Every structure is written in C-alpha cells, then in structure tokens.
Amino acid sequence: MKTYDVIVVGGGPGGYVAAIKASQLGSKVALIEGDRIGGVCLNYGCIPTKTLLRSAKLYQDLMISESFGIDIENLSDVKINWDNLMKRKDTVVNKIVGGVEQLVKYNKIDVFKGYGHATDAHTVVVGEETLSAKNLILATGSSVLIPSIPGIDDAVTAGYVIDSTGAIKLPKQPNSITILGGGVIAIEFATLFNSLGTKVTILQRSDTILKNLDADVRTTIQRHLTDTGVEIVTNSSISRVDNGTVHYTHEGKELSVTSDIILASLGRTPNLKGFEPLGIKVDKRGVVVDEHMQTNVKGVYAIGDMCGKMMLAHVASAEGIVAAEAIHGDKTSINYHKVPSCIYSFPEVGVIGYSEEAAIEAGYDVGTSMFPLSANGKAVAEGETTGFVKIVHDKKYGEVIGVHIVASHATDMIAEAAVSMELEGTIYDIAKTVHPHPTLSEIVMEAAHGAVDKPIHIIKR
C-alpha cells in the first residue's frame, strides 16, 4: 500500500489544479485519472470546441471579406478542409494537455492511470494499486445525459445520435444537424456548424433558449441565430427518434425533422460510481459539500461537476484550490454569484451575478443600464455591432450585482466585471475608471455612466 497526504480522484481542471495546489502547500499527492490529464474540458470540451470555433469564425470572416476591402476573386474557391480542421484541433489539444502533464510532473505528483474506487474515507483502489491518504478529493466530473426518448438508444447505436464528444470527432462535416436542447453547449455547436454552412435546427422544450440567462441576452442571441440561418423551434416536445428523424409536437401539431446527425445536448449528470462505500450525502444535483468543499464525511472533499453547482471548468479549478487550502488549514470559499459564465457563440456572451429578473425576485431595488455596441467606435470598425453591455445594480448603494455582455470579445470583457464585483464595486467606481479608446471595454464604462446619469456617446432621453 502506498501512503499519501492527499489523493485526488480525477485529473480534469478541478482535479489537476487541486493536486498541484496541495503539492505546492507541502503535501505528498497522488492523482488518479482514467483517461488523459485535463479531463473533458481539455480533451473533449472547452479547448477543442473553441479551436474549431476559431476556424469557423475565420471562414465566416472570409465570406464577408469584400465588405472590408479585401476581394477574393471566387468565394467558391474557399473550401473547408474538414480533415485539417480536425488535425489542428488535435494539435492544439495535445499541446495543452502535454503542458499540463509537465506541470503535474514538475510538482512531483504521482499519477496513477485507471478508474479509482474508494473502500473507505482513506483508501482508494486503482487497478492493482491500493492507495491510502489522510484526505481525499473527489473530482470525477460528469457525463452527458441521454434522455429517455423512444428510439433514441437505437439511434445512438446506429450512429445517428451523438453527444458533444462525438460532435468534435465527426469524420466529415454533416450537411444538416438537429440539436436537442437550447443550453450553452447547444448554442455553441449551433454557432459552429451554422458558420461552416451546415443546416442547423434546434429543438427546445421551453419557450426560449438559454432560459436561465437575462432576458435581453437570450432574446438577442436567439434573434441573431435565427437571422443567420439557424431554425429554432421552442415549446417543442420530442415524441420519438427514428434513426436520423426526430418526431416532435409543436403548437398541437405532429412534426418531424430529418438530418444527417442528431446532437443530444440536454444536460450532464455527475459521475458518482465507485464511492458508494463512503456514505457521502448526495442530492438531486450531486454531492453535497460545505463552503470549503468538504462532504459530510470528514477528510473527504468533492469538487467540480460532481457537485453540480456550476458545471464550468474555471469553477472546478477554483473549488480545487479551496479544497486544497482547507486541507492545509486555510478556510477559503467561493461566492458563486461572483463567478462569470461564458458562451462562445458569434457574438460571444459573458455574464456574472444576477439577471434583472433574478435581482428583482431576490428583493433588490433594481436599477439597470444598457449601452449598445452599435455606438462604440471599435465595434463599428470591426464590423461587430450586434450586442450590448447591461449593468444590474442595487439602487441603495449603487453596488454592481450583475453584468451581462453580448459582444465579439464578451468572454474576455466579463473579467472586468468579476474584479469589480469581487471588490464590491459600484456603478460610480466603473464610471470613474478611465477606459482606453478605442476599445470594446469602453461600453462597460458607458453603461455605468448611464446608470449614474447619462452615457456620453448615445442620446438618452
């Protein structure tokens, strides 16, 4: 039996970060991973999809190059080389995974390949190895949830229905794709395939896509997707799947759509198998933890998707650091209302804190201010004028309690809001902060001016 101070089960963005932090704090650490270091995010999620989206954006830009004064004699000569698209994706993924593997090695972490299972709160078996430790950090992630729909299992077996992992491994570009669901992953893949010329249909059960986001955000993104050719069917109820055909009900009518591929994007479920002997408490979202990521079992911590709080890579990493610090006596925590979320659509979305609706429901005296990209010089110069910044604030003190950005670089811009909210910043603080010109970041300042009084560069009556 090999003995450690900390055993981390799962080498995704939560697990490997927790392992590195624990090692940096002086612990002897073992890391167990059944696949490649980096987990779903680095290998099958965040990194590969964003790599493919970059290629899609470049292709899209080439198609409108004439409007930027660049003539391509025959646009039909601009071809998508699917094999090379995938090769570049694999190259990027392998480079980043290799870098993380070097970080793990540098921090003197022992890596065990395989799927671990716990026999008690201090013992984990992986393959033929039995490991013992004072503390255990579970970071096993989540898996795609395949809904119980008549015919869907047969369609999966036949290769018609795929999940997000299958979508980044397709051997060729589909002519058409039907996406089941209207959440973040669904919208990113709709953006990717639509931009590359694939016919995209989204079937969403509720009355809107991105239903948990601010109304102005989801309305803008839904309208933009529709305007660019994506067919979005809301209030739809799927009745069955027959190979490449999805049968559904909409407004009392029985309808169907047939496509080359069906992408099931209806959520994820925590991976909990193998840890039943621990007796850890689980609710409908996943493992129940306290603010320091400790479960009801002393010395056993859980982080990332398996907790089901916010299934985001950067949240898992932050939780991994909290767990490692808690083990070493530093009781830190995360305020989830101050954690940003991103969507890598065209345009991008970056949000943090309360939506306007949620803030009102929470009892705040809510004030809001919006500033459009169409009034920003950099956005006009770049030809990316769809979007806005919306600041939600508490009128009592002017504290910023939510920021919602739709813009070409929203996923980078939202970090400014995150810092401001972490410091309990106000609309007055942001308005007084001099922003560089010309940049998209100026619209954050302008929205703050609008909340305080009036913005400079639009007429507010």
| 3-class SS of residue 228 | coil
Amino acid at 109: I
| 3-class SS of residue 459 | coil
121 close to 136: Cβ distance less than 8 angstroms = yes
Burial letters 88-102, b for 16+ CB under 10 A, else e: ebeebbeebbeebbe
Q: How many CB atoms lie within 10 A of CB 434?
A: 7
Question: Residue 254 to residues 212, 236, 279: CA-CA distances in angstroms?
Answer: 28, 10, 46
CA-CA distance, 431 to 417, in Å (whole number)? 12
Helix 313-327 with 15-24: angle, nearest 10 deg = 30
CA-CA distance, 415 to 424, in Å (whole number)? 14
Kindly report the three-state secondary structure assignment for every residue of 261-320.
EEEECCCEEECCCCCHHHCCCECCCCECCCCCCECCCCCEEECHHHHCCCCCHHHHHHHH
11: DSSP letter = -
Catalytic residue, from 328, 337, 435, 437: name it: 437
**Gyration radius from the chain CA atoms:** 24
CA-CA distance, 258 to 254, in Å (whole number)? 14
- Whether 437 is catalytic is yes
Catalytic residues: 437
